[in-house]
């Protein structure tokens, strides 16, 4: 059947004809597979809910087969491809995606292809077997799988093994380019808005909303690249990159905490504007390297409520960004309300304020600013936020943040037991390997610097099962003349 296909797979034609359809139909397939798995687990096969779910699934698969003449479902790292089109992951289908991916992974499978249209019974047998195997927690070679299914009278599926993780370099490269564009544009627009607030000019929230939307979309699509760019931390552009970084961290964190896309837009806007009050603080105070007077501190401590005023003045045709005002007001209050401003009446920091406080605390402490020439290592900052209750961060949110960044966050310089130096590139795709991120080796064992270096996965083991490389400690990149941001552009 597939031999009669005229469209080159993945070629230009596929982009125009099949892509939009496949995105939608592929999602439907994911949702119906997930739905079927759920009812199969709950009810006996003859139950009406099971029959209905399997019929829906057969229809969803049938629609793809009818139009495409083929149906291939492939899992790769954290992505799902249907007929080579990558499905977009968003918060609505997050549970379905992760459940299907983890079931396939636990069974030792990476893909399945329907040779002909599978019936409801074919799906029932296939999915039941998958779930039983995943529950047993034992991978099975593909040949055994095929034999087992054939034994149950199901021959309509062809199966494939899991793929190695970094298979799609092209995709990664494109994601990286897109992230760089989003980041640069966000910094530019933020600069424009902050400067016009400083000059007392009218500003458009619309523009900044679009920036936030592109950050949210990018993070839902592929978060590693954008998180990597937060390490650039340009000293001269601190005010603007800080706002953008806090927005990126907050959105990525909010996503982990299960916020909806609309909530992420609101959160992102609030995060981007959290320090907007600083544009009403004299530049002479903001740029002081040392010797801040009491008056200077009073100016700095006023930025939360100055922010509320600045946002209030931004109203116009648009709705007032109430949530952003609350975050601007509360982000330094601390969970125990010992921060500033001191509230008159008892209150609770809102969830958005607590998220932004964590993102803000992390970015500020790892950046080098006028009054902080040596930044702390990201790992040390995280540990402090977690272990010192007086810092006033919400422990659950800090935990989520550590899960997001890994124990060694992206951009940390680490020394390995091979005496190589490396920079943390991405947290491990395996949640159980928080201390074994993917790193870029930037010097050999004798201290010769390498550029751009090469990526290695610290979870990699030798044939005897020992780890090839392990982090001994973190270190200050300046000691070695390394500029971390250089390795992320």
Contact residues toward Fe ion (CB under 5 A) are: 275, 360
Q: Which of 224, 183, 191, 140 is nearest to 455 (CA)?
A: 224
Whose Cβ is closer to Fe ion: residue 72's or residue 275's? 275
Q: Which residues of 254-287 are buried (b: 16+ CB within 10 A; e: fewer)?
A: bbebebeeebbbbbbbbbbbbbbbbbbbeeebbe
Minimum Å gap between C-beta 54 and Fe ion is: 52
Minimum Å gap between C-beta 246 and Fe ion is: 6
Whose Cβ is closer to Fe ion: residue 301's or residue 459's? 301
**DSSP states of 62-106 as a string?**
HHHHHHHS-EEEEEETTEEEETTEEPPP-TTTHHHHHHHHHHHHH
Minimum Å gap between C-beta 192 and Fe ion is: 19
Whose Cβ is closer to Fe ion: residue 250's or residue 427's? 250
Minimum Å gap between C-beta 87 and Fe ion is: 36
* Residue 316 DSSP symbol: S
Residues 6+ apart with CB under 8 A from 249: 227, 230, 271, 358, 359, 362, 363, 401
- Residue 205: enclosing H or E segment and its boundaries? helix 205-221
Whose Cβ is closer to Fe ion: residue 73's or residue 352's? 352
Whose Cβ is closer to Fe ion: residue 222's or residue 275's? 275
CB burial class (10 A; 0-12, 13-18, 19+) of residue 87? buried
CB burial class (10 A; 0-12, 13-18, 19+) of residue 461? exposed
For residue 372 the two structure tokens come to 């902080």
Q: Is the peptide bond before 341 cis (omega within 30 degrees of 0)?
A: yes
* Residue 468 DSSP symbol: S
Minimum Å gap between C-beta 307 and Fe ion is: 8
Whose Cβ is closer to Fe ion: residue 360's or residue 457's? 360
Minimum Å gap between C-beta 189 and Fe ion is: 18
Whose Cβ is closer to Fe ion: residue 162's or residue 361's? 361
Minimum Å gap between C-beta 331 and Fe ion is: 6
For residue 485 the two structure tokens come to 């941001």
């Amino acid at each position: 059947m597939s031999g009669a296909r005229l469209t080159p797979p993945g070629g230009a034609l596929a982009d125009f004809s099949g892509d939009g359809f496949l995105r939608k139909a592929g999602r439907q397939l994911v949702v119906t597979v997930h739905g079927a798995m759920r009812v199969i687990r709950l009810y006996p096969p003859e139950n009406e809910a099971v029959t209905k779910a399997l019929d829906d699934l057969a229809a969803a698969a049938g629609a793809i087969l009818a139009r495409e003449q083929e149906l291939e479902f492939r899992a790769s790292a954290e992505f799902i491809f249907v007929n080579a089109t990558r499905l977009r992951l968003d918060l609505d289908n997050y549970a379905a995606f992760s459940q299907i991916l983890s079931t396939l992974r636990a069974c030792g499978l990476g893909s399945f292809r329907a040779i002909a249209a599978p019936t409801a019974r074919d799906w029932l047998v296939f999915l039941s077997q998958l779930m039983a195997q995943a529950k047993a927690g034992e991978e099975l070679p593909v040949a055994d799988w095929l034999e087992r299914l054939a034994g149950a009278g199901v021959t309509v599926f062809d199966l494939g093994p899991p793929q190695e993780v970094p298979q799609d370099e092209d995709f990664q490269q494109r994601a990286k380019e897109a992230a760089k564009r989003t980041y640069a544009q966000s910094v530019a627009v933020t600069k424009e808005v902050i400067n016009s607030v400083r000059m007392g000019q009218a500003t458009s929230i619309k523009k900044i909303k679009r920036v936030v939307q592109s950050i949210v979309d990018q993070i839902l699509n592929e978060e590693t690249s954008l998180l990597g760019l937060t390490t650039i931390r340009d000293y001269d552009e601190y005010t603007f990159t800080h706002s953008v970084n806090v927005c990126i961290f907050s959105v990525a964190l909010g996503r982990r905490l299960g916020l909806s896309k609309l909530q992420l837009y609101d959160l992102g806007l609030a995060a981007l504007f959290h320090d907007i009050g600083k544009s009403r603080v004299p530049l002479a105070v903001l740029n002081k390297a040392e010797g801040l007077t009491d008056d200077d501190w009073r100016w700095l401590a006023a930025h939360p409520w100055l922010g509320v005023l600045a946002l209030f003045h931004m109203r116009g045709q648009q709705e007032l960004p109430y949530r952003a005002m609350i975050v601007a007001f509360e982000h330094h209050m601390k969970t125990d309300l010992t921060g500033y401003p001191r509230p008159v009446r008892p209150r609770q920091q809102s969830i958005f304020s607590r998220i932004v406080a964590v993102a803000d605390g992390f970015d500020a402490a790892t950046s080098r600013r006028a009054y902080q020439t040596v930044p702390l290592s990201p790992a040390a900052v995280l540990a402090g936020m977690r272990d010192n209750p007086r810092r006033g961060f919400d422990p659950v949110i800090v935990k989520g943040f550590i899960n997001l960044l890994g124990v060694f966050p992206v951009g940390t310089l680490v020394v390995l037991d091979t005496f190589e130096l490396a920079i943390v590139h991405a947290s491990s795709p395996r949640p159980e390997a928080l201390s074994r991120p993917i790193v870029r080796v930037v010097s050999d064992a004798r201290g010769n610097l390498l550029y751009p270096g090469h990526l290695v996965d610290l979870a990699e083991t030798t044939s005897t099962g020992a780890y090839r490389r392990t982090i001994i400690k973190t270190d200050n990149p300046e000691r070695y003349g390394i500029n971390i941001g250089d390795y992320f552009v």
